[in-house]
């Protein structure tokens, strides 16, 4: 695996040995694939922007009271090349690289472009972790059978994962078509926590966790957050999730389930603002910290 030099990698870790593939227990993979974006584009620039912003994230985590990277090491792979590679071929390429990382017992963190790529991560993780459920943070259900005729669209990614009959827990949904609403109603394995309902349910975090199996893969679409937190997304929706409630929930997930990997997707950097990519880079580091607590 080709890794970035530590001064270009996630966090720009000063100890070069902790950023090597051999020593790192955590590996960041960059997946700049954008082919089906339907509104604003630019998510293919998201992984590099999050990496650059991570250089300004403090090593010391004030919540966890530790320098998480020193506990596990974090290596960052070079970007996966998608030249002339689309749809099912792109998913296969992602799955192949993720397979190799999991074979080496790495905890894989994927920084991505459009949400369609999550299908490749899940296809890989389900081979290693049989009792797997999917935790999706998103403004959109992404459950269309196909979008503009493409079953591998970002708007269909959870439909492809639903084909695998895995338990799916959706958090923060606030935009969907009737087809998607009907799929949710007819699929006992899908549990959707709509944004407008969690505001009225003080027990939503506990209820959501109860639907997760022992092993959990987390996919975070940046538009799951409120636009005041993460404005740089392709399709923003009001009434999103806020920073502290999201982290409170995720910390409980890591404490009660075995989180086997996660991705952060759909950041489309805005000229003149680094708020979104910086916040998402900090989120990635915080979640790595939660995994450190789980490991130790």
Q: Name the pTM for this structure.
A: 0.97
Q: Which of 30-44, 124-138, 214-228, 261-275 has the lowest mean pLDDT?
A: 30-44
Closest CA to 162 of 148, 137, 141, 178: 141
Largest pairwise CA distance in the chain: 52
The 10s digit of each residue's pLDDT in 244-280 is 999 999 999 999 999 999 999 999 999 999 999 999 9
Contact 96, 90 (CB under 8 A): no
The 10s digit of each residue's pLDDT in 12-56 is 999 999 999 999 999 999 999 987 555 556 789 999 999 999 999
How many structural domains are present in the chain? Answer: 1
| 172 assigned to some structural domain | yes
| 64 assigned to some structural domain | yes
| 3 assigned to some structural domain | no
DSSP annotation of 173 reads E
| CATH, residue 126 | 3.40.800.10
Per DSSP, the three-state class of 75 is: strand
**What length does the chain have?**
296
| 278 assigned to some structural domain | yes
| 2 assigned to some structural domain | no
How many other C-beta atoms are found inside a 10 Å radius of the C-beta of residue 272?
5
Q: What are phi and psi of 151, to 5 degrees?
A: -75, -10
| 5 assigned to some structural domain | no
Q: What domain range is 238 assigned to?
A: 10-295
| 4 assigned to some structural domain | no
**Alpha carbon distance 206, 295 (integer Å):** 22
| 237 assigned to some structural domain | yes
**Alpha carbon distance 66, 228 (integer Å):** 28
């Amino acid at each position: 695996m080709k890794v970035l030099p530590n001064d270009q990698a996630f966090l720009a870790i000063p100890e070069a040995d902790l950023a090597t593939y051999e020593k790192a227990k955590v590996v960041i993979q960059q997946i700049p694939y954008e082919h089906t974006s339907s509104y604003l584009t630019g998510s293919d620039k998201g992984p590099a922007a999050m990496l650059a912003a991570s250089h300004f994230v403090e090593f010391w985590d004030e919540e966890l009271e530790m320098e998480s990277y020193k506990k596990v090491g974090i290596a960052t792979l070079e970007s996966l090349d998608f030249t002339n590679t689309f749809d099912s071929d792109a998913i296969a390429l992602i799955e192949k690289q993720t397979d190799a990382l999991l074979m080496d017992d790495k905890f894989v963190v994927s920084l991505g472009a459009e949400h369609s790529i999550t299908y490749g991560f899940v296809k890989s993780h389900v081979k290693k972790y049989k009792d797997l459920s999917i935790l999706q943070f998103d403004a959109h259900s992404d459950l269309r059978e196909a979008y503009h005729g493409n079953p591998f669209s970002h708007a269909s990614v959870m439909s492809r994962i639903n084909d695998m009959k895995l338990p799916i827990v959706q958090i923060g949904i606030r935009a969907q078509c009737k087809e998607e609403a009907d799929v949710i109603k007819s699929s006992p394995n899908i549990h959707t926590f709509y944004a407008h309902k969690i505001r009225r349910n003080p027990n939503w975090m506990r209820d959501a966790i109860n639907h997760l199996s022992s092993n959990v893969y987390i996919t975070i679409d940046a538009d799951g957050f409120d636009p005041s937190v993460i404005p740089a997304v392709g399709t923003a929706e009001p009434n999103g999730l806020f920073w502290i409630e999201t982290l409170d929930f995720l910390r409980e997930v890591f404490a009660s389930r075995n989180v086997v990997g996660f991705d952060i997707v759909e950041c489309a950097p805005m000229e003149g603002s680094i708020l979104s990519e910086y916040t998402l880079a900090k989120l990635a580091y915080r979640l790595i910290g939660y995994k450190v607590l789980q490991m130790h």
